[in-house]
């Protein structure tokens, strides 16, 4: 619960620790985020890029490219919409390296 509260509410580590009645939350959160981020990176697959055409009177193979592109793009758009619910991404209080790991951990939580 501790690890879920911190990124969802974007409270300081001291506030999170006080809320759970413990002395420190930093190490627990950092280690759990790293574990979740590693899991997300292991599960990430390669994406396939296809051309995207907007013109309506296109040959069938271009229309197929459009359909394939939409199928590939939709999960990413849904993922970004879900990430916006996590308040830690609104005003991060950590290094840029940590925020990347945090996003990967949130991704692992979301797909679980």
Q: Kindly report the backbone phi and psi dihedral angles of residue 95, in degrees, each rounded to the nearest multiple of 5, phi listed first.
A: -70, 165
What is the pLDDT averaged over residues 5-27?
85
Query: Taking all residues of the chain, what is their mean pLDDT, rounded to a whole number?
Result: 80
Q: Return d(Cα 92, Cα 99) in angstroms, integer.
A: 7
Per-residue pLDDT tens for 39-96? Answer: 887 765 544 455 555 555 678 888 888 889 889 898 888 878 888 888 888 877 778 8
Cα 6 from Cα 25, distance rounded (Å)? 9
Query: pTM higher than 0.85, yes or no?
Result: no
Q: What one-character-per-residue DSSP string does 47-94 give? A: ---------SS--HHHHHHHHHHHHHHHHHHHHHHHHTT-GGGTS--S
Q: What is the pLDDT of residues 22-51, one digit of tens each?
A: 888 888 888 888 998 888 877 655 444 555
pLDDT at 96: 83
* The pLDDT of residue 54: 56
């Amino acid at each position: 619960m501790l690890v879920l509260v911190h990124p969802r509410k974007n409270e300081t580590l001291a506030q999170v620790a006080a809320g759970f009645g413990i002395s420190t939350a930093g190490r627990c959160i950092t280690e759990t985020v790293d574990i979740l981020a590693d899991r997300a990176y292991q599960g990430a697959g390669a994406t396939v890029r296809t051309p995207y055409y907007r013109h309506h009177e296109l040959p069938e193979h271009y229309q197929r490219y459009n359909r394939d592109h939409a199928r590939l793009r939709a999960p990413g758009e849904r993922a970004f919409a879900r990430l916006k619910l996590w308040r830690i991404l609104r005003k991060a209080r950590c290094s840029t390296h940590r925020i990347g790991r945090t996003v990967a951990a949130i991704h692992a939580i979301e797909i679980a």
